Homo-oligomer: A and B are copies of this chain.
Amino acid sequence: MIKIHWHPYSTYSRRVMIALLEKHIPHELVTVDMAARKHREPEYLSVNPYGRVPTLEEDGFLLYESNAILTYLEATHPEPALVPADARGRAVVDMHMRLCDLQMARQAGIIIFPKRFLPKERWDEKAMAQAKGEIERHLAILDSQLDGREYLVADRYSLAEVSYTPFVQFLPVMEIAPPPAVAAWVARMLDRPSARQTAPAQ
């Protein structure tokens, strides 16, 4: 049985939850009590030395980095497929997953975490404004790529969308108004049953 160490507020954990639902994969959830800083204690650091969630555990096999977990689930549970069948299509999904981490997820964390969990006097507003600008420039690129399409790759829902869903959920919190093709894509993703079932509490 696949065990997922996670936290319900974790955007990265939500990626894995969505993939597990989309693929109907039986699993067991282990909540890491991050409020009590259990993720910084030796027991969890022996599972994930970075002290982050999610981590997949399966018969003693440990894997972290949410996009690596998604790729592993795809390799081990190929149906229903969340990547195209051909090498080029798979490569483009992989590229978009990496770009989601590098150009959006990290920057979103800089904005979302303080806005959700810290009093305003502790916000680093300069860093937050810079992160917002980076996301806006990235969304402008996605907008031109999405123009006339429903999804990023081969016009079908893929792991690229699984990666993006938890982060685009917070565009309103980040006060980012997405350009039109991105806005339609976001609405499409958030309307999926796997997204609705994993939506964070407001």
Interface residues of A (CB under 8 A from B): 49-50, 61, 63-65, 67-69, 71-72, 75-76, 87-88, 90-92, 94-95, 98-99, 101-103, 106, 141, 144-145
Tell me, in angstroms, the Cα distance from A18 to B71 when the chains sit together.
24
A50 lies within 8 A of B141 (CB): yes
Tell me, in angstroms, the Cα distance from A71 to B91 when the chains sit together.
7
A94 lies within 8 A of B76 (CB): no
A99 lies within 8 A of B141 (CB): no
| Residues from chain B with Cβ under 8 Å of A65 in the complex | 94-95, 98-99, 102
| Residues from chain B with Cβ under 8 Å of A64 in the complex | 95
Picked from B91, B102, B145, the residue with its CB within 8 Å of the CB of A63 is B91
B49 lies within 8 A of A141 (CB): yes
| Residues from chain B with Cβ under 8 Å of A106 in the complex | 102
A90: nearest chain-B partner, CB-CB: B75
B75 lies within 8 A of A87 (CB): yes
Distance of A78 from chain B, by nearest CB (Å) = 11
User: 4 closest pairs, A vs B, by CB?
Assistant: A72-B91, A68-B95, A49-B141, A75-B87
A59: nearest chain-B partner, CB-CB: B88
| Residues from chain B with Cβ under 8 Å of A91 in the complex | 63, 68-69, 71-72, 75
Distance of A13 from chain B, by nearest CB (Å) = 16
Tell me, in angstroms, the Cα distance from A88 to B69 when the chains sit together.
10
B68 lies within 8 A of A98 (CB): yes
Picked from B61, B68, B95, B144, the residue with its CB within 8 Å of the CB of A94 is B68
Q: A49-B144, A141-B49, A141-B50 are in contact. Are A71 and B94 (CB under 8 A)?
A: yes
Q: A72-B87, A87-B72 are in contact. Are A63 and B144 (CB under 8 A)?
A: no
